[in-house]
Chain A
């Protein structure tokens, strides 16, 4: 334990230099191993698929570059509609879900009716398949004849908001309940009102605790935006459908699918980055 520290010109002891060299070698080796295993797995999958009896047909029906390129512009145009729907739906969900979550945490008998409505709402819409909500909202509400004529994507957006707010409000509520009660106590003792305590202390901390879950819901919503096509809006999925009907070739579906993946990637990366940063910033001490 008491051996004299041997220092080199870098100012580090020989022991530390040895450790670093070892770590470097180790990490170099693991990169090689992971690279080799990835290539091998890819080769196996590829060879298996290519050697299936139906591969030639499938390749022609699903992976035809010419059909894909032909319909790419119209599908991309459809995707623009998806992006716009997503934009408004996210804003709607953020507002509505927060409202529901807050209502569900209100105590006191005065709020009982509100709480009951919020509970029934979340139970109902979490259980109901989105596609049914889309039909009910998209065809049912206009049929009442009391609303102005609106394009189907508006109803689609509303249906998305209704369904996703039910999930997101539960996630938010869980986050708010995970905030330690002493935080509320500290806030109230400073003279903050109940509403200020929620807005300035409980919600910000609660949201941080559930960022990964929220981002998951967001990515899943991004895919489900494609379902508004059932109402007749020409979105990416619908555009692909039209193309498929034209050509009897399924490549447009692949194109649309890949485009959805591509737009979701930045958010998935952003989620990881945000979560990592928040953790670094607030949990240095290892405390939650």
Chain B
């Protein structure tokens, strides 16, 4: 059982915004090197789930374990826990006043205590890998949406986090740019990253996901391998949702 300790384990997670019960008792596990994809309609609570894992939202009940450590315990150091998790949001949240290189090097320098040189070497390596080695000194607004989003991913991964959270990282992108961003995610998976992500790209979820979770109104209605969820959905709500997204 110890060898199979999941990277992330969530038990009975509840989150309310006022009267709205956005997450109503979620249980899920993400194991090492696994890509877990959360799908569900707009407003089903996907982003809230990811924000809760990163402690950006205070949860109302339940527990969140990162490699066995309860990070929902208010006595732990929040910043330390966050530093172990990489996050990319839907909108590119690059820092506009920092160059691409500084964006990627920031966390390693300021949070993980690397020297400027070490942090920049790592940042250069990653930026080279995504083909932006010639844009190091540019400011984010000069990059295309796809380039910005890839920089955001690399910024999250540069400090070698134990878990990577990706929240609809392609949904504000031009369709032509979606591919280059998703390719990077596939590469990260091949490199052994552990990923919990939400997406509206069902094809991608099927191809890259190891495990798919369907959320509706804050309930985890169905989960399983992509084949199970996409090909033989058990729950009527899953079937309905899938038929709706497929017709698009």
Residues of A within 8 A of B (CB): 182-183, 185-193, 196, 200-201, 204-205, 208, 281-285, 287
Contact = CB atoms under 8 A, between A and B. Distances in A.
B93 A183 contact: yes
A240 to B, nearest CB: 44
Contacts of B106: 190, 192, 200
A191 B89 contact: no
A191 B79 contact: yes
Q: How large is the interface on B (under 10, 10 to 19, 20 to 34, 35 or more residues)?
A: 20 to 34
Main secondary structure of the interface of A (DSSP, over half): helix
15 contacts: A185-B89, A186-B87, A189-B56, A189-B85, A190-B83, A190-B156, A191-B159, A192-B79, A192-B111, A196-B110, A200-B110, A205-B96, A282-B97, A282-B139, A282-B141
A108 B246 CA distance: 47
Contacts of A189: 54, 56, 82, 85, 87
Contacts of A287: 96, 141
Contact of A191 (B96, B97, B107, B142): B107
B95 interface: yes
> What 9 pairs across the A-B complex have the smallest Cβ distances?
A191-B83, A186-B93, A285-B141, A191-B111, A190-B107, A189-B87, A191-B82, A182-B93, A204-B97
B82 A188 contact: yes
Given A196-B110, A285-B142, A186 B83 contact: no
Given A188-B82, A191-B79, A191-B111, A201 B95 contact: yes
Contact of B79 (A193, A208, A282): A193
B235 interface: no
A170 to B, nearest CB: 22
Nearest to B95: A201
B150 interface: no
Contacts of A284: 139, 141-142
B80 interface: yes
Contacts of B87: 186, 189-190
A158 to B, nearest CB: 33
